Amino acid sequence: MKIAVVGAGAVGGLIAGRLVGRVADAEVSVLARGQTLARLRESGLTVYEPDPAQPGSHLETFSGPVRACATAAEAGVQDVVFICLKYNGLADLAPTLIELMGLAKPEEMTGKSLIRR
């Protein structure tokens, strides 16, 4: 099963960390950009969670490489997509989602429909 996590912040990183190695036969890709993408490619992903036995301290729950991608084309068509972006990133996400889902791009998203009268 191919799973993509779009956005590698706190929520996306936690979801990706929990999926990698815990879901049988899952290929997890993380779509990120900028410094986050560079760090994921260089160092992988590390997830820490609170230690219930010692308040104020944390346990490393996952550390390892992930498939870090800059584009939907790099990730390829996915079976499941987790959207982990802030609201201001959602408007630009539609073309990426269509590509991750392997769907044809609707005419409305090409700009052609905007110049028709």
Range ranked top by mean pLDDT from 58-67, 76-85, 86-95: 76-85
Residues comprising the chain, all counted: 117
Per-residue pLDDT at 69 exceeds 90:
yes
Closest by CA position to 8, among listed 72, 66, 74: 66
Question: For residue 110, what pLDDT is reported?
Answer: 57
Cα–Cα distance between 54 and 56 in angstroms, integer? Answer: 6
Query: How many CA atoms, within 13 angstroms, populate the side-chain half-sphere of residue 47?
Result: 20
**What's the whole-model pTM score?**
0.83
Two tokens, residue 52? 């219930």
Per-residue pLDDT at 113 exceeds 70:
no
Question: For residue 116, what pLDDT is reported?
Answer: 45
Question: For residue 74, what pLDDT is reported?
Answer: 96
Q: Give the contacts of 58 (CB within 8 A, at least 6 positions apart).
A: 48, 49, 50, 51
List, in order of start, the domains of the chain with CATH numbers.
2-115 (3.40.50.720)
